[in-house]
Structure 1
Amino acid sequence: MAELATIARPYAEAIFEAVQTKPAADALEQVSRALDALALVARDSQVRSLAGDPHLSIERLEELMLAAVPQPAGTAVRNMLRVVLENRRLAALPAIAEQFHRLKDAAQQRAEAVISSAFALDPAQIDELLPALERKFGCKLYPRVEIDPSLIGGIRVAVGDEVLDTSVRARLDSMRIALSA
């Protein structure tokens, strides 16, 4: 997958720069939604087989893909899709969307917080937890909650490459290490 990330980086940076020249902050969100939709379309096995069809023109494939996207794609997205298809990089579209999200988050000083919990968290608990996590990590966070029964209790929060682990599993592992030393 490192190869796809390497291929995707210039495309993501180019579309991010193209959108940055526009005055509306909504442009980032619109492009983000369009890239997510195109990434979903690109993952479809039928679309991948169409992309390999030598009898199907790039223009027709582009039309088909854009028709599958629920909202109209802007000029920047259309141009990027055309270049991706011309260079036969359809498989890189999901990685392009992912890297665009990282660039957008960095520009907005936001990050995704992956909150792992042994049990389901209700929205009130998440709302109570977020301000403390934002102070700890120093940026605006948007949560993604995952259930991981192996944690036994507590939570584990990952923001980028930083991890805050207050789970029972982490405490037990720490005690095990301390006792075996």
Structure 2
Amino acid sequence: MTASFRGASAESLAALTDELGGAVAGSPETATSVAGELFSVSQTLRSEGALRRFLTDASLPAEAKTGLVGQVLGGKVSETTLSVVRTAVSRRWTSAGDLPDALEHAGVVAAVKGAGDQAGRLSDELFGVAETIKSAPELRDALSDPARTLEDKTTLVRSLLDGKALPATVTLVVQSLAGTHRTVGVALAEYQKVAAQVQEQGVATVRVARDLTGAERDRLADLLSRQYGRPVHLNLLVDPTVLGGIRVEIGDDVIDGTVSSRLDDARRRLAG
């Protein structure tokens, strides 16, 4: 979602996330609460076109827009959330739709900060949920079925995750059902990217024929971190088609050291 922000919207988003980071620093409970409120506000702005257009009208003074926000949200959200939303509406946005998108992004950032020192676990759980949905057609169909209500889908997600995953993970998986991304899988992938950005990490998807030991994971993460100049979080997939070796995808880079890849290379050389 962040890739869609250009010009004034990109600058406004940066200011918004900076303020949010300071507002929730050191308080995971506040961050978690703010995340839910920002998701709610973003959904309201998507459904209320007249309000959204007013709050993004560059010809109107910021005081008019922040004043209206106070009237609409005062007493319904925390002062922290209200302050973040006021900052958002006082900024310039390239398009009206960027405002609710930015508030959703800020909500994801808040949810990640709400995980505190377990942000790495949050990333692992988001990846695990995405892979589970991808490999379970019945679950994938249930979560994408337009005939099922959002409340029904939310109940299903909570029945699967409550007590088994971090509250921040549950919050983000529930938010992925809101329909603001093409699919739940796309939403979860975007949230993983935001989680990595918040932690100032890169993300590597690692495919192996067998699970790696803790020491092997640490060595690989250290190697990739030194190669890319920043910490790298590993998303590990045990994939029988790998046939030994390892395949690493990080950004647009692919490091393929699998047996199947080497066999393919040999076949190409023989054919040539």
- The answer to whether the 8 Å contact 2:242/2:259 transfers is yes
Distance 1:118 1:96 in 2: 28
Match of 2:149 in 1: 50
Distance 1:17 1:96 in 2: 23
Q: 2:211 aligns with which of 114, 120, 139?
A: 120
Map residues 10-29 of structure 1 onto 2, 5 A cutoff: 18-22=16-20, 23=22, 24=25, 27=31
**How far 1:18 sits from its partner (Å)?**
3.4
- The answer to whether the 8 Å contact 1:137/1:159 transfers is no
- Is 1:166 the counterpart of 2:257 in the alignment? yes
The one-character-per-residue Cα deviations of 1:96-146 (angstroms, maximum 9, x if unpaired) are: 554344245345431221111111211121112211121223321111111
Gap change, CA 1:45 and 1:108, over 3 Å in 2: closer
**How far 1:166 sits from its partner (Å)?**
0.9
What residue identity is the alignment partner of 1:18? L
Q: Equivalent pairs: percent with the same residue?
A: 24
The answer for unaligned runs of 5 or more in structure 1 is 52-60, 82-88
Gap change, CA 1:130 and 1:176, over 3 Å in 2: same
Gap change, CA 1:45 and 1:131, over 3 Å in 2: closer
Q: What TM-score does the superposition give when structure 1 sets the normalisation length?
A: 0.57
Greater shift, 22-31 or 141-150, is seen at 22-31
Q: 2:178 aligns with which of 71, 90, 115?
A: 90
Q: Which has the higher helix share?
A: 2
Q: Which has the higher strand share?
A: 1
Between the two proteins, the alignment pairs up a number of residues equal to 144
Distance 2:267 2:239 in 1: 21
Secondary structure of 2:180's match?
Answer: helix
Distance 1:104 1:17 in 2: 18
Distance 1:120 1:104 in 2: 24
- Is 1:179 the counterpart of 2:267 in the alignment? no
Secondary structure of 1:157's match?
Answer: strand
Q: What TM-score does the superposition give when structure 2 sets the normalisation length?
A: 0.41
- The answer to whether the 8 Å contact 1:111/1:159 transfers is yes
Match of 1:133 in 2: 224
